[in-house]
């Protein structure tokens, strides 16, 4: 696998990475039939057929039309795949491509993408910023892999769905906390070992070179007061203690089974492991948990400054107290609708990655964002406090 911060050096590497991402996408839906792909399982999640068509349409728009100068295969059908124009709750009723037509569209776009790739220049000296260092290809890979995570959110609602073995292995890999963390999270004690971060100036954001989204730039310096941050994310055991004491709602997919809690995602009823980091909590739940523990959520800058010193990363995204705002000097690239239209006080930033995040997408400067009430995302909690 190519590390996330290194752009593909050759056209062969780009083609291989595109194929790998597509194999992952199709692997996710392989156990499902056409009816399941077209089903609206939740008003806040797209039917999978929309995601698949949108992935191919986004590829066609950027890799075939924008840089190849070609006409689209389905005329103005693309307007139904515009994520801003078509809110998730209406996507099941749109005249989108379905079934065999959808599969052949995905394959036809990919053929054209590879054909265009043959003829473009992607080196460091190329004038077009879309093509320089192969930026647009890395953007497309990230887009498809990020949609894989959205698809996995929906797949939690499909009874009997089994994760592809490779993704199940990734999930198993990041679930366990270290033995000491397991012990800490097992009991009712919310106390966790903390890392002290000194007051000072910290560099935040992505460097100029290499792939990153516009909202991660420009890299800039922020002044932070001294703070402490938990070495591990909050565990299920600590969250259960919090629920029992305060009567707070359980995370999404939890159900009571006698005197224990079970995870009902994908139609299973698996006992909740107290030592695993809690996920599927809203920002409000995360914030309330942190206060209950005598702490607070970190700001996104504190999170990024502390990032290299933490363990237990990667099971769930971690809510921060920060609104999703532009960095000073922000410039939208390559399109306003990726992040600029979401800036404001409505969305909170999440940092890190989850078990459903492809490693290519996870990087310390990556900013995820969502509405504070959302919990269908793989979202967890890490606490901080003033030093
Ligand atoms: Fe998208």
CA 329 to centroid of ligand 1, rounded, Å: 25
Provide CB contacts within 8 A for 42, sequence distance 6+: 154, 157, 376
Tokens standing for 24? Answer: 């992952």
Say yes or no to pLDDT of 180 above 60. no
CA 80 to centroid of ligand 1, rounded, Å: 12
CA 295 to centroid of ligand 1, rounded, Å: 35
CA 188 to centroid of ligand 1, rounded, Å: 40
- Cα separation, 232 vs 312, in Å, equals 5
The SS3 assignment for 27 reads helix
Query: Mean pLDDT for the chain?
Result: 91
**Residue 92 confidence (pLDDT):** 85
CA 312 to centroid of ligand 1, rounded, Å: 28
Tokens standing for 300? Answer: 């996104």
For 272-283, the pLDDT digits (tens) are 999 889 999 999
pLDDT greater at residue 191 or residue 29: 29
Torsion angle, CA of 200/308/142/234, rounded to 10 degrees? Answer: -100
Cα 198 → chain centroid = 29
**Residue 190 confidence (pLDDT):** 45
For residue 94, what are the CA distances in angstroms to 28, 231, 275? 23, 46, 43
Predicted TM-score (pTM) of the model is 0.93
**Residue 188 confidence (pLDDT):** 40
The SS3 assignment for 77 reads helix
Cα 89 → chain centroid = 20
Say yes or no to pLDDT of 6 above 60. no
**Residue 123 confidence (pLDDT):** 84
Confidence of residue 97 (pLDDT cuts 50, 70, 90): very high
**Residue 5 confidence (pLDDT):** 46
Confidence of residue 7 (pLDDT cuts 50, 70, 90): low
pLDDT greater at residue 188 or residue 250: 250
Of 354, 370, 385, 228, the residue nearest 292 (C-alpha): 385
For 213-248, the pLDDT digits (tens) are 999 999 999 999 999 999 889 999 999 999 999 999
Q: What is the mean pLDDT of residues 303-326?
A: 89
**Residue 185 confidence (pLDDT):** 47
Tokens standing for 111? Answer: 């053929």
CA 147 to centroid of ligand 1, rounded, Å: 6
Task: Return the H-helix or E-strand segment holding 202.
Answer: strand 200-204
Residue 373, preceding peptide bond in cis (omega within 30° of 0)? no
Q: What is the mean pLDDT of residues 308-314?
A: 71
Say yes or no to pLDDT of 119 above 80. yes
The SS3 assignment for 8 reads coil
Of 370, 364, 271, the residue nearest 313 (C-alpha): 364
- Cα separation, 184 vs 42, in Å, equals 36
Say yes or no to pLDDT of 311 above 80. no
pLDDT greater at residue 133 or residue 104: 104
**Residue 172 confidence (pLDDT):** 78
CA 255 to centroid of ligand 1, rounded, Å: 32
Lowest mean pLDDT among 120-134, 290-304, 340-354: 120-134
CA 83 to centroid of ligand 1, rounded, Å: 6
CA 287 to centroid of ligand 1, rounded, Å: 28
Length, in residues, of the chain: 387
For 152-171, the pLDDT digits (tens) are 999 999 999 999 998 988 88
CA 314 to centroid of ligand 1, rounded, Å: 22
For residue 179, what are the CA distances in angstroms to 183, 184, 185, 186, 240? 6, 9, 10, 10, 20
Give one word for 60, left, alpha or beta, with left for phi > 0 and alpha for psi -120 to 50.
alpha
Q: What is the mean pLDDT of residues 71-92?
A: 88
Paired residues of 45 in beta bridges = 42
CA 70 to centroid of ligand 1, rounded, Å: 21
Task: Return the H-helix or E-strand segment holding 324.
Answer: strand 317-324
**Residue 187 confidence (pLDDT):** 43
CA 332 to centroid of ligand 1, rounded, Å: 16
Q: Residues of the chain with pLDDT > 90: what percent?
A: 76
**Residue 314 confidence (pLDDT):** 83
């Amino acid at each position: 696998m190519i590390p996330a911060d290194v752009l593909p050096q050759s056209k062969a590497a780009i083609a291989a990475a595109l194929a790998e991402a597509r194999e992952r996408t199709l692997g996710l839906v392989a156990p499902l039939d056409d009816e399941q792909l077209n089903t609206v399982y939740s008003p806040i999640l797209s039917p999978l057929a929309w995601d698949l068509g949108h992935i191919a349409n986004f590829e066609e728009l950027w890799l075939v039309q924008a840089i190849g100068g070609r006409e689209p295969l389905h005329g103005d059908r693309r307007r139904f795949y515009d994520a801003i124009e078509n809110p998730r709750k209406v996507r099941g009723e749109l005249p989108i491509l379905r079934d065999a037509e959808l599969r052949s569209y995905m394959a036809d776009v990919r053929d054209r993408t590879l054909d265009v790739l043959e003829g473009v220049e992607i080196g460091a000296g190329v004038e077009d910023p879309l093509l320089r260092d192969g930026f647009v290809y890395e953007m497309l890979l990230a887009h498809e892999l990020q949609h894989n995570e959205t698809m996995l959110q929906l797949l939690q609602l499909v009874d009997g769905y089994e994760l592809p073995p490779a993704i199940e292995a990734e999930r198993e890999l990041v679930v366990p906390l270290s033995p000491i963390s397991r012990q800490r999270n097992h009991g009712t004690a919310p106390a966790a070992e903390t890392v002290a971060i000194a007051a000072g100036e910290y560099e935040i954001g992505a460097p100029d070179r290499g792939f990153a989204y516009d909202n991660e730039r420009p890299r800039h310096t922020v002044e932070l007061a001294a703070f402490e941050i938990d070495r591990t994310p909050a565990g299920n055991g600590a969250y259960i203690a919090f629920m029992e004491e305060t009567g707070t709602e359980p995370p999404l997919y939890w159900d009571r089974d006698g005197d224990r809690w079970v995870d009902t995602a994908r139609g299973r009823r698996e006992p909740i492991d107290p030592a695993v980091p809690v996920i599927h909590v809203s920002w409000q739940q995360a914030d309330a948990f942190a206060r209950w523990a005598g702490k607070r959520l970190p700001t996104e800058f504190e999170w990024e400054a502390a990032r290299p010193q933490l363990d237990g990363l990667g099971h769930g995204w971690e809510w921060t107290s920060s609104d999703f705002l532009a960095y000073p000097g922000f410039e939208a690239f390559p399109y306003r609708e990726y992040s600029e239209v979401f800036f404001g006080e409505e969305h909170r930033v999440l940092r890190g990655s989850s078990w459903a995040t492809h490693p290519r997408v996870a990087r310390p400067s990556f900013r995820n964002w969502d509405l504070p009430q959302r919990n269908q995302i793989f979202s967890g909690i890490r606490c901080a406090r003033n030093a």
